[in-house]
Structure 1
């Protein structure tokens, strides 16, 4: 059940290109700009006139491809690549993507996935009953196996049927000898964009920052339920479903995406500035200086300073060679990462009343350490302002938050959290404040965002996770509304 497959949950980055003589190198460059989305493993599959070549491995992209011969091996005019993050217990190279599958019609296809399937248990049981022997333990493999066992007449029909069988959050990038295919779940939980190079090559990737990295021009977002097919004739648009309802993950704007990316027409940097400005209005404080936790909170800190009129300064420095702690696979690594990655500019904080702006509090490890660090550096007081609402509920669509037990906001009130992290005051952005800061997306029925992590309003059934979620809600009934 869900607790047993905890390691399947992942937040990843996808990049693919069709029609370029430098496909593998451009894929590497694009993945490099998406390294923030996954630091555990990386892989690239190239397509040379139908012949696939692959290299993948554990570690950062530069580590996996440190040997120049690995890139030189990946010849061809098309490629797809993947950077991966996974939770503890699932770190084998067999789970590093893209994955390869044999197929009688298209000979072979490669598959890369960002997200998490909420009916993975059900799919795995059904496939096992058909005699499927799995090559890995990741839910990313399941779509490929469903395609292989589908009774539909042709490959695209098999793919459509399989996409309608899986549930949850998924952005898929696939490649056959003659085409590259992208598919996005009916809610569009994960971002996926299309770009075009000057030479006509087509790029599909997780964020617009990767388009910028390779010099591609943004064409448009992949829409929920779409099947984008790219071949030598260009781009064609199909659908595996038209029953869609946009609910893009609000954590993309808060934390995961790079600030220079644009998601569905909204600048991530500007949205974060508006989040900071909104919490400044919702929870003002008399202080001397505003500082942000580098790097993902700096935009919100600027917004807070501009809205409050309090001076902004660089009060903390991040060691750029230490991985992000939220997406570190284990708590032990997260704790060690916090202690290594941040230092204080004492001349900025000594003797000052500090407003410390951060994007979120997940487990509390980072916040407690930072407050202690600032006070050791001579801060008179530290007022923590979180530019997102209280994280109370798990994410089942592809982020490393699967149980309420690991969320400090689900188990303690705001006052209790304040005391635990040692802050002089603590306030969070409201859900309405978050939605208004991001702004309405192109969805006619609502704001187009998933805010389930804050309000428990999931836009889809939870399938494998429903029983566990119900039990967690019952366990935490005492705290309902306390925050």
Structure 2
């Protein structure tokens, strides 16, 4: 491991969550509940809803799945009002208590405000210290709460101006929903890391959601994607679109297409299932397997890529693995022990399908390698002759700072081992990954912004925005003589050194 990789091993307050909001609809909380069901895959640790009843905000939140938190129908019925926002949480760091479950609801002496957040504020440590040093008292360990403190401290006249001023102080990847007695606000970071879209219900009411699948669930017609740097106001007068900054690009997180988003969602005009199928086709061209009998996809997020691989390779696409649909996704379990237990509980091999076969096993990614190792062992126990692993994404070599649970290079198998070592560790007969260019071409995002519109930092180290708190921590180690750098890794991530090194 390089000195640079060692220096990046720290924990942040990251999240990858789901948001839903609606304005001007009777029984808004019930519709929000339905919309959040379509987003449950984005977070399974906790859920909450805040409603607006004639200017008074009401809240219910709890730990667990949405169906657990709102198991009692009276909980939804108590959230009266014609507007609401909801949140499902996936915590990747920090504490996992009720205090971090959103939406947050705060009561000031002159107004109430609720907040739901998806993403990660990369300068959170700096901002939090500044706020605490000047008297702010935080109730949670999440970076999301910072925006509420900034809004309260703003001296701007209107709520919209307060929010805009506060957003300009944040860096990183974030989508926010804010509910006040008078309006619903939606904001996206200047790089558009997180998916965010707006729909309209048959009655003309606007809804905002993390994915278009939630629009479909609530019978809302897609209107538009929220664009980078936008602050959108929805109230009784309709929808107004403003920009809190004009310094924008589009760098949607490639992991949305690879893993996180539902296959029936469309992000910036690209359907997720079709993108994944193209990834599989490209993978078959780049990394063919000689003598294979069948293609088996790891359910569920890899099935689209497996279909594409099989069609391109001219091989049968078989159901060699069956998933217990009532088990949570392993990647978004909060710790390694729970991930390993979930793998053993959720998958089983069909012996009659895989016995004696040379298998192309298509998966969407390898992060820590634990899941792949268990699946290969399972297939070979069921009689598979060979298991050739093909990954429909590039190798994860760099940590994420924008809201995905890959925060340290210690966790990333490809950052610490060669391809040969990885192959041996997971006990595969061969292992190969999709190229970065193959990923970009497969998604084929059409964007009016410069570049390809994607964040591929996990694979190539090119971070679209400076990583401020990381940068300060890293530079302190450099100044103290604890870390040395050679030119190559500095060139890979130039933004990290842009301020204090002058590069």
Which secondary structure state, in structure 2, belongs to the residue aligned with residue 100 of structure 1? strand
Partner of 1:102: 107
Q: 2:246 aligns with which of 237, 242, 245?
A: 242
Partner of 2:458: 453
Which secondary structure state, in structure 2, belongs to the residue aligned with residue 143 of structure 1? helix
Query: Take 2:372 and 2:11, find their aligned partners in 1: how far apart are those partners?
Result: 29
Q: Does the aligned pair in 1 maintain the 2:10–2:407 contact within 8 Å?
A: no
Offset of residue 201 of structure 1: 1.2
Partner of 2:52: 47
- Seen in structure 2, the aligned counterparts of structure 1 residues 279 and 172 have a Cα distance that, compared at 3 Å, is same
Q: 2:21 aligns with which of 13, 16, 21?
A: 16
Over residues 409-456 of structure 1, what are the superposed CA-to-partner deviations in whole Å (9 max), with x where a residue is unaligned? Answer: 100011110100000000000000000000033143210000000000
Query: Take 1:330 and 1:124, find their aligned partners in 2: how far apart are those partners?
Result: 26
Partner of 1:271: 275
Which secondary structure state, in structure 2, belongs to the residue aligned with residue 173 of structure 1? strand
Over residues 195-238 of structure 1, what are the superposed CA-to-partner deviations in whole Å (9 max), with x where a residue is unaligned? Answer: 00001111000000000001000000000000110001110111
Query: Take 1:376 and 1:167, find their aligned partners in 2: how far apart are those partners?
Result: 48
Query: Take 2:337 and 2:406, find their aligned partners in 1: how far apart are those partners?
Result: 16
Q: Does the aligned pair in 2 maintain the 1:291–1:355 contact within 8 Å?
A: yes
Q: Confirm or deny that 1:258 pairs with 2:262.
A: yes
Q: 1:437 aligns with which of 433, 442, 446?
A: 442
Q: 2:69 aligns with which of 56, 64, 71?
A: 64
- Seen in structure 2, the aligned counterparts of structure 1 residues 331 and 195 have a Cα distance that, compared at 3 Å, is same
Number of equivalences = 478
Partner of 2:385: 380
Q: Does the aligned pair in 2 maintain the 1:411–1:479 contact within 8 Å?
A: no
Offset of residue 3 of structure 1: 6.8
Q: 2:315 aligns with which of 310, 316, 322?
A: 310
Query: Take 1:313 and 1:443, find their aligned partners in 2: how far apart are those partners?
Result: 40
Over 4 Å off, 4+ runs: 1-5, 467-472, 474-481
Structure 1 unpaired stretches of 5+: none
Q: Give the structure-1-normalised TM-score.
A: 0.96
- Seen in structure 2, the aligned counterparts of structure 1 residues 415 and 476 have a Cα distance that, compared at 3 Å, is farther
Over residues 268-323 of structure 1, what are the superposed CA-to-partner deviations in whole Å (9 max), with x where a residue is unaligned? Answer: 00000000000100010120000100000000000000111011111101111111
Q: Confirm or deny that 1:169 pairs with 2:173.
A: yes
Which secondary structure state, in structure 2, belongs to the residue aligned with residue 101 of structure 1? strand
Q: Does the aligned pair in 2 maintain the 1:412–1:479 contact within 8 Å?
A: no
Q: Give the structure-2-normalised TM-score.
A: 0.92
Offset of residue 372 of structure 1: 0.4
Partner of 1:211: 215
Query: Take 2:387 and 2:323, find their aligned partners in 1: how far apart are those partners?
Result: 19
- Seen in structure 2, the aligned counterparts of structure 1 residues 381 and 5 have a Cα distance that, compared at 3 Å, is closer
Offset of residue 88 of structure 1: 4.6
Partner of 1:392: 397
Superposition pairs for residues 280-299 of structure 1, below 5 Å?
280-286=284-290, 287-299=292-304
CA RMSD of aligned residues (A): 2.0
Which secondary structure state, in structure 1, belongs to the residue aligned with residue 317 of structure 2? coil
Offset of residue 152 of structure 1: 2.3
Superposition pairs for residues 133-212 of structure 1, below 5 Å?
133-212=137-216
Structure 2 unpaired stretches of 5+: 1-6, 492-503
Bigger mean CA deviation after superposition, 441-450 or 418-427 = 441-450
